[in-house]
């Protein structure tokens, strides 16, 4: 372990999906001027004030080429020739949102089985070949996408792509492998009981969306649903949604578009298209009044706070205004939540907030892990900031947030992996791939009025869902004294069910 | 290193980390040349500050990465965790940077920054658009040269609370979270610098005083105990001008106290420990003392870890998790740093299985490797995956700056990445067999973390 000054707040994984697009270089600089050698100044230099900086460099976005194969598969090639590496992601535009009722975890388990055997390779053979080649092959699912991924040196591209395509196109879903993986997953779900932050994540989603909405159910399934999923369920999910006309092959790295198109046709040209059903959109309205769900975790050293509401879909017109507002509220180290709860009061190692933007409105969430003894004090400060963000934001604070987002963009396009990470949400949610070309200007155009409008629209202190997981006997009296609204007391079994340990 | 912002990390971790490089059929010489040399220039200022420059203009960003040669291993008795607590205080402002302004100035230019502490060193970095290089240098120089005039009790008390919460978030409120400090205390004698955890104890964090802060700064935070790495998109002459301007006037500090003398690590017989925790499943930890990083057996021990638990085909995973399905997970790694290393095997039994059974199976698999060796395929898988990881370590400018700083401190020269890679090229199956027999049959520390009230699940010597 290497203690460092900062750990991202626990919602970082969630927030990361929403910050991805957030930045850009300065709009006025259109050419990259190499830093001119600064003359050695002979005049006295005042070392007591920060140096004056030259203009920031232009953002250089990598070239993007799009092709469409006859079977409907879209190919997106992003060229990055710095190192002989490539990241390949097959992005299937359906994920856990499509899990049938009572079968939560179907998308996740389907993806999880792809690397567990194909019609010609066993699970162990897949792993053996990947390690022998020095490449990584994986598969997983999110709410609205299922991905098969490859990271490889270009020297191994032929063999690696063959392995990757086999995993994506010819999964066997062998029964013994399914039972083995099922056991691992069921045990992992039991182990969620050990972790207060994980319990809080699960409880927050359910409290906010309800179990009738896909986002209110666990993406990787519950113990009950994972126990019941059948091989037929997975085969059905796979054959229904894993279709070329429902997928994009995203390639980032040291490759050329024509060469990749040839390879894509070789590997994926025989993949047959089919009608893919539309997944019904579910709606959720959130609580009518602020509600606190207090989940008892005896002995917990910290209280896990999850506070929020229904946010926005990725297609929102308010995308950049929300990014700027959230950067101020809880999206950076100097954000209000972190400055208040950590740097002013020391209640936590880090506090933050984020909007998880999905096909339909995902959650807005503020979070922190707070020392038990300061749970009530932290609650007061959270609420203070969630109210204050609705007031006019000072102009210098607005400017800092905008520059942080705009000027941070080059770093987001540094490696093949980081570029793929930036591009994937665009592909999944159908955002034009030139999105980043104008991001800088659009961030720059966000005004104080915009920030206030989206804060008032999407952060409503009177209709919050609040989940706190902690040691009830220590924290309940202080919380009750604050009259936070309705308090619902739960224990871990209410969230996760009764452990079925064998 | 845990980054402050998870901007580009999460999905790729979910996809299964970044791997890469190398054809199995290539010869050792060819594969090691597949790792590019990191060109650099190294100079030392009159005040003793080492400066390492590495230009890379592929992306318009630059990283300033400052390493101080002090870590938790230098702490005094009763002050564990102090080096890391001090690291936090370094962000609280300096004579010309009011409290809070350090981060605000950096965020205003689009920078990310963080710091980290290990047993041996402390580092601070800024990753910024290339035009902002002078700002990072000025900020780092101000806190190297002018921290104490504005130091006060309030800064210490605040970051003490933050660090205590960091400990809660990383250790106390994490299942099995106390395993590492429990094992270290048993493996290393009380006067060994690795006897205690970097994060320290709550009692020692409470005891840290303002005078400790001042004394620690005066002792260790001087230019002659630091290395400044600048990597990325910058002009060499400009950078050196700024470095001289901002750092040149900081006076050399007193001679550093000698790094702690390392007492011999002797584990005369297997040591069995038990720890109760709020967990649903017990977990077995077995740890052996090995040796320092870059020692001759260091690379073979890494490969041994891969062979035992690196992937699905590894000995322990395949037998315990895949075939028998008696374990939920297995982990093996050789954790080696400046003064010493240790080899760790961690197994979580499936519900209904016992840690004792896991320990028996682990011993069987170790004995097989020690007695019969490994196959060429096992070696090739491990080496190819190891080699592949080198390209990923230098994919970002920050990664390059870390490599240069780490090699400079631990290997004695920044120019070491190709030799580092070549270490693995030279590992043979016989080496792996030998280190299994040499190290993993020695007396070890065995910790069983058990659900509360289940101390009967503890692994003891009687089962062997």
Interface contact flag, B165 A5, Cβ < 8 Å: no
Q: Calculate how close chain A gets to B208, using CA atoms only, in Å.
A: 16
Average per-residue pLDDT in chain B? 92
Q: Are strands B445-451 and B283-289 parallel, antiparallel or unpaired?
A: antiparallel
Asked if B37 is an interface residue toward chain A (Cβ–Cβ < 8 A), one would say no
Confidence of residue A283 (pLDDT cuts 50, 70, 90): confident
Average of per-residue pLDDT across A468-479: 98
pLDDT at A118 over 70: yes
| Residue B98 forms contact with A (CB below 8 Å) | no
The mean per-residue pLDDT over the stretch A266-289 comes to 93
B364-390 mean pLDDT:
97
Count interface pairs A-B at CB distance under 8 A: 354
pLDDT reading at B181 higher than 70:
yes
The better pLDDT of the pair B244, A3 is held by B244
Average pLDDT value for residue range A368-372: 98
- Closest listed residue to residue A35, CA positions, set B66, B228, B241: B241
For the cut 70, the answer to whether the pLDDT of residue B267 exceeds it is yes
User: What per-residue confidence (pLDDT) applies to A43?
Assistant: 61
- Per DSSP bridges, beta strands B41-44 and A74-79 are unpaired
Interface of B with A in 295-324 (CB under 8 A): 310-313, 318, 321-322
Whether residue B453 lies within 8 A of chain A, CB to CB, comes out as: no
pLDDT averaged over chain A? 91
Does the beta carbon of B104 lie under 8 angstroms from any beta carbon of chain A? yes
**Stretch B55-76: mean pLDDT, rounded?**
96
The torsion of the CA quartet A207, A210, A211, A217, rounded to 10 degrees, works out to: -60
Distance, in Å, from the CA atom of B74 to the CA atom of B217, rounded to the nearest integer, reads 13
A322 pLDDT above the threshold of 60: yes
Does residue B1 belong to the interface with chain A, where contact is any CB pair within 8 Å?
Answer: yes
B168:A302 CB<8 A:
yes
From the list A1, A36, A408, the residue facing B170 with the nearest CB is A1
Instruction: Answer whether A136 sits within 8 Å of B15, measured CB to CB.
Output: yes
A448-458 vs A319-329: helix crossing angle, rounded to 10:
80
Contact A328, A355 (CB under 8 A): no
Question: Mean of the pLDDT values across residues B61-84?
Answer: 97
Confidence category of residue A3, pLDDT binned at 50, 70, 90: low
Asked if residue A30 has pLDDT above 60, the reply is no
The answer to whether residue A13 scores a pLDDT higher than 80 is no
Q: What is the pLDDT of residue B156?
A: 98
The pLDDT value given to residue A499: 57
CB contact under 8 A, A89 and B199: no
Q: Between chains, do B313 and A131 touch, taking CB under 8 Å as contact?
A: yes
pLDDT interval class at A243 (50, 70, 90) = very high
B32 pLDDT exceeds 60?
Answer: no
What is the edge-to-edge ordering of all strands in the sheet holding A363-371? Answer: A348-355, A363-371, A302-310, A465-470, A291-296, A486-491
pLDDT tens per residue, range A404-414? 999 999 999 99
- Reported as a single tens digit per residue, the pLDDT across A184-214 is 999 999 999 999 999 999 999 999 999 899 9
pLDDT at B50: 98
pLDDT at residue A42 in the model: 55
Q: What is the mean pLDDT of residues B102-121?
A: 97
**B388: pLDDT strictly greater than 70:** yes
- Per DSSP, the three-state class of A466 is strand
Give the span between the Cα atoms of A94 and A242, in whole angstroms.
8
Can you tell me the mean pLDDT for A3-28? 36
pLDDT exceeds cutoff 70 at B5:
no
Contact A92, A241 (CB under 8 A): yes
pLDDT of B13: 28
Cβ contact A8–B4 (<8 Å): yes
Kindly state the average pLDDT of the residues A456-485.
97
Number of other residues whose CB lies within 10 A of the CB of residue A229: 24
| Closest residue in chain B to residue A150, using alpha carbons only | B15
Of the candidates B5, B104, B249, which has its C-beta nearest A8's C-beta? B5
Indicate yes or no: CB of B109 within 8 angstroms of CB of A47. no
Give CA–CA dist B123/B71, Å, rounded: 10
What is the 3 state secondary structure string of A287-321?
CCCCEEEEEECCCCCEEEEEEEEECCECCCCCHHH
> Could you tell me what percent of chain A has a pLDDT over 90?
86
In the predicted model, what is the mean pLDDT of residues B262-275?
94
Least confident of A199-203, B10-14, B371-375, B449-453: B10-14
pLDDT class of B260 with cuts at 50, 70, 90? confident
- Between residues 124 and 153 of chain B, which touch chain A (CB distance below 8 Å)? 127, 129-132, 134-135, 138-139, 141-142
| pLDDT at site A45 | 85
Q: Is the pLDDT of residue A32 over 80?
A: no
Query: Is there a contact between A47 and B100 if contact means CB atoms under 8 Å apart?
Result: no
Average pLDDT for residues B168-190, to the nearest whole number?
Answer: 97
B34 or A120, which is more confident: A120
Residue A28 confidence (pLDDT): 29
Q: Do B312 and A15 touch (CB under 8 A)?
A: no
Query: Is residue A29 over pLDDT 50?
Result: no
Distance from CA of A392 to the nearest CA of B (A): 20
The answer to whether the CB atoms of A4 and B159 lie below 8 A apart is no
Question: Quick one: average pLDDT of B101-107?
Answer: 98
């Amino acid at each position: 372990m290497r203690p460092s000054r900062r750990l991202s707040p626990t919602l970082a994984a969630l927030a990361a999906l929403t910050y991805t697009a957030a930045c850009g270089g300065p709009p006025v600089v259109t050419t990259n001027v190499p830093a001119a050698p600064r003359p050695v100044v002979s005049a006295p230099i005042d070392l007591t004030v920060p140096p004056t900086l030259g203009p920031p460099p232009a953002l250089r976005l990598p070239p993007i080429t799009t092709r469409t194969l006859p079977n409907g598969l879209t190919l997106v090639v992003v060229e990055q020739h710095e190192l002989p590496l490539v990241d390949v992601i097959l992005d299937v535009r359906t994920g856990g949102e499509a899990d049938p009722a009572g079968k939560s975890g179907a998308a996740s388990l389907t993806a999880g089985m792809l690397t567990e055997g194909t019609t010609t390779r066993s699970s162990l053979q897949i792993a053996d070949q990947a390690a022998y080649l020095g490449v990584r092959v994986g598969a997983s699912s999110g709410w609205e996408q299922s991905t098969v991924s490859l990271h490889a040196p270009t020297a191994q591209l032929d063999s690696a792509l063959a392995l990757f395509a086999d995993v994506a196109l010819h999964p066997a879903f062998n029964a013994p492998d399914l039972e083995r993986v099922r056991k691992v997953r069921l045990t992992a779900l039991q182990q969620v009981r050990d972790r207060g932050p994980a319990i809080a994540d699960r409880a927050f989603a359910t409290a906010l969306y309800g179990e009738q909405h896909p986002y209110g159910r666990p993406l990787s399934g519950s113990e009950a649903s994972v126990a019941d999923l059948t091989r037929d369920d997975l085969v059905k999910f796979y054959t229904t949604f894993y279709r070329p006309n429902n997928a994009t092959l995203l390639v980032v790295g040291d490759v050329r578009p024509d060469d990749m198109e040839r390879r894509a046709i070789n590997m994926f040209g025989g993949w047959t298209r089919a009608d893919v059903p539309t997944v019904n959109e579910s709606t959720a309205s959130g609580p009518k009044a602020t509600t606190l769900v207090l989940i008892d975790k005896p002995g917990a050293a910290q209280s896990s706070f999850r506070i929020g509401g229904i946010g926005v879909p990725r297609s929102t017109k308010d995308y950049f205004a929300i990014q700027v507002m959230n950067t101020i509220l809880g999206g950076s180290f100097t954000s209000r939540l972190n400055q208040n709860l950590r740097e002013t009061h020391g209640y936590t190692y880090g506090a933050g907030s984020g909007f998880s933007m999905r096909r339909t409105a995902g959650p807005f969430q503020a979070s922190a892990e707070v020392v038990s003894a300061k749970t009530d004090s932290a609650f007061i400060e959270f609420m203070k900031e969630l109210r204050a963000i609705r007031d006019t934001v000072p102009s210098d604070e607005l400017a800092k947030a905008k520059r942080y987002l705009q000027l941070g963009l080059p770093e987001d396009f540094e490696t093949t992996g980081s570029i793929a990470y930036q591009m994937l949400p665009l592909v999944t949610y159908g955002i034009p791939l030139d999105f980043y070309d104008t991001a800088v200007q659009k961030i720059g155009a966000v005004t104080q009025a915009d920030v206030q409008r989206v804060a008032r629209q999407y952060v409503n202190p009177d209709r919050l869902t609040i989940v706190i997981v902690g040691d009830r006997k220590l924290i309940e009296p202080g919380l009750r004294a604050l009259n936070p609204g309705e308090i619902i007391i739960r224990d871990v079994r209410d969230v996760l069910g009764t452990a079925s340990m064998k | 290193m845990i980054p402050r912002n998870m901007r580009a990390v999460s999905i790729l971790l979910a996809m299964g980390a970044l791997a890469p490089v190398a054809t199995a059929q290539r010869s050792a010489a060819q594969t090691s040349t597949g790792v590019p040399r990191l060109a650099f220039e190294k100079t030392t200022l009159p005040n003793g500050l080492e400066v390492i420059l590495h230009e890379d203009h592929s992306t318009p960003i630059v990283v300033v990465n400052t390493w101080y040669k002090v870590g938790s291993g230098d702490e005094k008795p009763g002050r564990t965790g102090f080096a890391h607590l001090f690291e936090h205080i370094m962000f609280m402002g300096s004579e010309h940077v009011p409290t809070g302004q350090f981060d605000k100035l950096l965020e205003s230019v689009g920078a990310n920054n963080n710091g980290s502490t290990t047993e041996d060193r402390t580092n601070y970095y800024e990753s910024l658009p290339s035009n902002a290089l002078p700002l990072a240098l000025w900020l780092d120089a101000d806190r190297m040269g002018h921290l104490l005039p504005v130091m006060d009790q309030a800064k210490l008390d605040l970051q003490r609370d933050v660090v205590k919460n960091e400990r809660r978030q990383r250790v106390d409120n994490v299942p099995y979270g106390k395993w590492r400090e429990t094992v270290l205390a048993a493996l290393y004698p009380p006067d060994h610098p690795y006897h205690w955890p970097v994060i320290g104890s709550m009692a020692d964090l409470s005891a840290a005083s303002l005078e400790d802060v001042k004394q620690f700064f005066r002792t260790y935070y001087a230019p002659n105990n630091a290395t400044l790495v600048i990597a990325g998109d910058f002009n060499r002459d400009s950078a050196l001008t700024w470095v001289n301007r901002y750092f040149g006037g900081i006076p050399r500090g007193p001679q550093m106290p000698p790094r702690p003398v390392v007492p011999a690590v002797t584990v005369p017989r297997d040591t069995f420990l038990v720890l109760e925790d709020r967990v649903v499943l017990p977990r077995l930890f077995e740890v052996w003392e090995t040796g320092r990083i870059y020692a001759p057996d260091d690379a073979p021990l890494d490969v041994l870890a891969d062979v035992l638990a690196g992937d699905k085909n590894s000995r322990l995973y395949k037998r315990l998790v895949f075939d028998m399905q008696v374990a939920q997970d297995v982990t093996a790694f050789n954790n080696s740093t400046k003064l010493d290393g240790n080899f760790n095997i961690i197994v979580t039994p499936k519900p209904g299985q016992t840690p004792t059974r896991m320990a028996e199976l682990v011993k069987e698999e170790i004995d097989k490797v020690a007695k019969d060796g490994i196959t060429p395929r096992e070696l090739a898988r491990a080496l190819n995956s190891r080699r592949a990881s080198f390209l990923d370590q230098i994919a970002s400018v920050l990664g390059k700056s870390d490599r240069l700083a780490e090699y400079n401190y631990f290997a004695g020269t920044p120019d070491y990445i190709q030799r580092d890679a070549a270490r693995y090229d030279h590992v043979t199956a016989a080496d792996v067999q030998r280190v299994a027999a040499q190290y993993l049959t020695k007396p070890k520390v065995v910790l069983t973390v058990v659900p509360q009230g289940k101390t009967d699940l503890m692994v003891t010597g009687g089962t062997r």
